[in-house]
Amino acid sequence: MIDHSQEDTASFISLLEKRWLANHFVCVGLDPEYARLPAVLKEGHSIEEAFYIFGREIIAATHELVCAYKPNSAFYEAQGDAGMRALARIIAYCKKHYPTIPVILDAKRADIGNTNQGYVSAAFEHLQADAITVHPYLGREALAPFLQRRDKGIIVLVKTSNPGSGELQDLPVGPAGEPLYLVVARNVAQKWNSNGNCALVVGATYPSDIARVRAVVDDLPLLIPGIGAQGGDLAATVRAARNSRGSGMIINSSRGIIYASNGADFAEAAGKATAQLRSDIIFHRDK
């Protein structure tokens, strides 16, 4: 069996760090909904082709401005085989034309160890993603098949951006009564990250929680959803999330970029929206 953890390839973290050096902090969420695609794509194209062209053109229009792309697998799975073929083609296009930009598969996987082997193969061998989002609920032992892939990014859900996230994530834990999300963040940083390939998901809708996470995880990368349609405060998010080097942020926007226009100029509009978000991040980072 090939030991993929020893492959001499650029790791997810090293790819990110090079993008950050160029002041690229925007992650574009490639989350297509067929009903919201521009009419020009739906006319005369199959679902697979419409999804693929949509993703390809947005990547082509934004690649000089981003640190990563993040397709959420649910939007592709919803379209069955056609959607999954489109997802594979979009990732392949990005890897071929822009190999220095990492692709994060937002699949939120987790199960017992031998089942996770299947998820690992699907994400990293078949789809060729550079990173994947995972749930921490089953613990480090179960996530070992992910964590041992030192070349890949393992991005652990800690404090999610949805309104109901606090139901479990904010529960007080241990003698100090720390919220569960903070305990998870510390465990990932101090116990799970032995291969230096971990990152955390923290939502922009909770900037004070981002600050608490940053304080206990040092310079660990943070994937931050919730900017744009979900209403996250960009200035507060950047102030809370930047690490000691003024980087460490993967700030995701999906709908605010990919649906910036529903006309034939959708890709151009996505490029402009990405450029504006990048500029705003740098402005707040440097304040």
pLDDT in tens, 72-87: 999 999 999 999 999 9
Instruction: Please provide the CATH number assigned to the domain covering 10-205+216-285.
Output: 3.20.20.70
The rounded distance, in Å, linking the Cα atoms of 55 and 28 is 10
Q: What is the mean pLDDT of residues 41-47?
A: 96
Is the pLDDT confidence value at 276 over 70? yes
Catalytic residue from among 18, 42, 95, 108: 108
pTM of the entire predicted model: 0.95
Is the pLDDT confidence value at 207 over 80? yes
Residue 108 is among the residues annotated as catalytic for this protein: yes
Where does 80-179 have alpha helices with state H?
80-97, 113-120, 139-142, 144-147, 166-169
Question: So what's the pLDDT on residue 9?
Answer: 60
Q: Establish how many alpha carbons lie within 13 A of residue 63's alpha carbon, considering only the half-sphere containing its beta carbon.
A: 16
Nearest to 30 by CA among 5, 10, 3, 57: 57
The set of residues, in sequence order, having a beta carbon less than 8 Å from that of 136 and lying 6+ positions away, is: 110, 143, 156, 157, 158, 184, 187, 188
- CA distance to 2, 220, 241, per residue, from 287 (Å): 47, 22, 13
AA letter at 224: I
In order, the DSSP letters of 169-211 are HT-EETTTTEEHHHHHHHHIIIII-TTS-EEEEE-TT-HHHHH
Question: So what's the pLDDT on residue 230?
Answer: 73
Nearest to 277 by CA among 251, 245, 249: 251
The rounded distance, in Å, linking the Cα atoms of 125 and 143 is 17
CB atoms within 10 A of CB 107: 19
CB atoms within 10 A of CB 102: 29
Share of the chain above pLDDT 90, in %: 93
Mean model confidence pLDDT for the chain: 95
